Amino acid sequence: QKEVEQDPGPLSVPEGAIVSLNCTYSNSAFQYFMWYRQYSRKGPELLMYTYSSGNKEDGRFTAQVDKSSKYISLFIRDSQPSDSATYLCAIVKAAGNKLTFGGGTRVLVKP
Amino acid sequence: KAGVTQTPRYLIKTRGQQVTLSCSPISGHRSVSWYQQTPGQGLQFLFEYFSETQRNKGNFPGRFSGRQFSNSRSEMNVSTLELGDSALYLCASSSEGQGVGYGYTFGSGTRLTVV
């Protein structure tokens, strides 16, 4: 079993819809949670970072962490075609700098 | 502010050869990490360097090695290339002072194809 599980998609939504993405993890030692966006032929770009349970909002993006369930989510409101990309969750343990990534979810926002 | 620069962008090598990839981190960042990305395995951690010392290492064979120079630039080397080494190799730099999770800025990667 992988340490971080993420549905590969693809997830297809109409423009303006809410995109809902999630990851589950198995190790309770994970303390820091990130979401990255990756366009084709580009490196991952950090979207959101959080280290506590609860919600964190940044513009159209909301990250949600539930440490008791080992479940993290990313919501994208008012989705745009430019949001079409692969979204990766990444988790870090309290000590050390190794990022453990989910497999990524491919999102397609149709005009 | 310049981002993370990886060179070359694309590389084609033959099985059995060796290859060296380069990464220039964001100015002031002392930590450099390397990841391998493939369709089947996703993003996997190779190693991380801080102030010229390897601090963490992933589960890759000894054919994969790296180093970091005094100016924080880093190189990774893969010897005796295998077909399965074909992947996108990504470098990320971070600033220790910003804490875990901040400043993990990735470069655009080097796409290595082994034929």
* Whether A99 contacts chain B with CB within 8 A: yes
Q: Tell me the pLDDT band of A110, cut-offs 50, 70 and 90.
A: very high
Residue-wise pLDDT for A1-43, tens only, equals 789 999 999 999 999 999 999 999 998 888 889 999 999 989 9
CB distance A75 to A62 below 8 Å: yes
Residue-wise pLDDT for B21-47, tens only, equals 999 999 988 889 999 999 989 999 999
- Yes or no, beta carbons of B35 and A99 under 8 Å apart: yes
- Yes or no, beta carbons of B90 and A43 under 8 Å apart: yes
Q: How many H helices and E strands in chain A? A: 0, 11
- Yes or no, beta carbons of A46 and B94 under 8 Å apart: no
Q: Which residue of B has its CA nearest to A104?
A: B42
Mean pLDDT of chain A: 92
Three-state DSSP class for B22? Answer: strand
- Yes or no, beta carbons of B94 and A97 under 8 Å apart: yes
Low-confidence ranges of chain B (pLDDT < 70): 1, 96-103
CA distance A64 to A62: 7
Contacts of A44 in chain B (CB under 8 A): 43, 90, 106
Q: What long-range pairs does A55-62 form, CB within 8 A, spacing at least 24? A: A61/A35
* Whether A40 contacts chain B with CB within 8 A: no
Q: Give Dmax (Cα) for chain A.
A: 43
Contacts of B108 in chain A (CB under 8 A): 41-43
* CB within 8 Å of A19: residues ≥ 6 apart: A11, A13, A74, A75, A76, A79, A83, A107, A109
Three-state DSSP class for B69? Answer: coil
Distance from CA of A50 to the nearest CA of B (A): 8
